Structure 1
Amino acid sequence: MNLKRRTQVTNQTHSEETTTGLSHNKLGMWVFLGSECLLFGALISTYLLYRGRFADGPAPGDIFDIPFTSVSSFVLLMSSLTMVLALSALQRGDERNNRLWLLTTALLGAVFVGGQVYEFTTFLREGLGYTTSPFSSAFFTLTGFHGVHVSLGVIFLMSLYVSSARGNLHKERAETVELIGLYWHFVDIVWIFIFTVIYLVPSPTS
C-alpha cells in the first residue's frame, strides 16, 4: 500500500510539471514576468524618447532629490533579501520567522511606496504635473506603473502573512511564497533599470 501511494504521489507530481521541469504555476509566473518585461521595456523606451522634452516645465535636474530616492531605492532592494529569508524559513518549516520576514518585506515595500508618493506630491508643488510636458507624462507613467506593481506586491505579501498567522501556510505550500518571491524580485530588478535611466543618466537639454 505504501509503495502504491508513493507511486500515485509521484505520478501526480509529474502530471503537475511541464516538459520544462517547472510546475505549471512557475511556468505561468515566468510567462507573466516575460510579458511584464515587454511592458516595462516599452515604457522605458518611451521615457528615453521624451526625457529631453520639458516644454515650459522644470527639468529633472531642477527637482530630482537623488539622495532621497537613493535611500528609498536601497530600502526596496533590501526587501529582496528579506524575501529570500522568508522563503528559506518556510522551506525549513520555521513558520514564525517566515511571518517575521514576510511582514518585514511588506513594510519595506510600503516605505518605498510612501517615499514615491512623497516625491510625487513634491513635484506637483514645484510645478511638475502629469500633463506639464512630454517628459513629465513619461516620467509619471513609468514610475507610477512600477509603484502600482510594488503596491500589489505588498498586498500579496500581507495576504501570505495573514494566511500564515491563521496556520494555513506550511512548508508544503512553499511554492506559493516562491512565486510571490519571483514577482517581488522582478519588481526590484526593474527598479534598478528605472532608477538608473531616470536619476543617474543625464537628460539632454530641450
Structure 2
Amino acid sequence: MQQSMTAHTDHDHGHVDQEELKILGFWIFLVTDCLLFATFFSAYAVLHNHTNGGFTSKEFDIPGFIIETFVLLVSSFTSGLAVLQMHKGNKKGLIGWLLVTAALGAVFVGFEINEFTNMAQEGATLTKSAFLTSFFSLVGAHGCHVTFGIFWMIGLIIQLSSKGITNVTKRKISIISLYWHFLDAVWIFIFTVVYLMGVM
C-alpha cells in the first residue's frame, strides 16, 4: 500500500515537472522571438531611408493600419476574456471567446495581405529597395506569427471540445494567451516605429 502511494506521488511529481519544463520551453521560445524581432527592428532602423527613389514610409495607408491596430487590440482583450472563462470552468464561454479571438486575428491578417497586395500593385515589392525589404520582413514576420497563432488556437479549440478544461488544456490556453499578448505588444512597436514615425 505504501509502495503504491509512493509510486503515485512520484508519477504526479514527474507530471508536474514535465508541465513546468513545457512552460520554461515556451519562455525560452518567447525570448528567442524577442531577439528575432529586435533584429528585424534594427534592420528597419538602418534601412528605412534607403528607398531607391521609390515608395517611402510617407505613402503608407493610414486608415488601414489604424484599423489593423484596433482589430488586434480588441483580439487581445477577447483572449483575456477567454482566460477568465477558463478560470470559471466555463467551457462554452472559453471556446466562444477563442473563436472570436481567432476570427479577429484572421481579419487582421486579411487587412495585412490587402495592404501588401495594394503596395505590390503600386510597384512597391520586396526587392524594390532596402527599405521595402526590411519593411516586408518585419511586418510579414509578425503576420506569419499571427497566422500561426490562429491555427494554434483552432487546434486548442478542437482539443477543448473533446477533452474539456483540464490541467493540460489550462496550461495550453494560458500559453496561447501570453503568446497573443506578446504579438499585440510587438505590433504596438511596429505601429509606432514603422507607421506613425513613417508618416510623420
Give me the whole-angstrom Cα distance separating, in 1, the residues matched to 2:199 and 2:46: 11
The AA in structure 1 aligned to 2:137 is T
Give me the whole-angstrom Cα distance separating, in 1, the residues matched to 2:141 and 2:198: 22
- The superposition leaves residues 60-92 of structure 1 with CA deviations (integer Å, 9 ceiling, x where unpaired) of 212x11222111111111111111111221222
Offset, 1:98: 0.6
Runs of 4+ in 1 over 6 A off after TM superposition: none
1:125-204 alignment to 2 at 5 Å?
Answer: 125-165=121-161, 167-172=162-167, 173-202=169-198
Can you give the 5+ residue segments of structure 2 that lack an aligned partner in the other structure? none
- The superposition leaves residues 92-145 of structure 1 with CA deviations (integer Å, 9 ceiling, x where unpaired) of 210000110010010010000000000000101111000111000000011111
Give me the whole-angstrom Cα distance separating, in 1, the residues matched to 2:166 and 2:73: 26
130-139 or 178-187: bigger deviation: 178-187
Matched with 2:30 is: 33
1:116 aligns with 2:150: no
How many residues of Structure 1 are paired with residues of Structure 2 in the alignment? 198
Can you give the 5+ residue segments of structure 1 that lack an aligned partner in the other structure? none
Q: CA, structure 1 residues 115+71, in 2 after alignment: closer, same or farther (shift >3 Å)?
A: same
The AA in structure 2 aligned to 1:36 is D
TM-score by length of structure 1 reads 0.87
More helix by share: 2
- The superposition leaves residues 25-60 of structure 1 with CA deviations (integer Å, 9 ceiling, x where unpaired) of 111111110000000000000001000111031212
SS at the partner of 2:55? coil
Give me the whole-angstrom Cα distance separating, in 1, the residues matched to 2:17 and 2:136: 40
CA contact (8 A) 1:90 1:171 kept: no
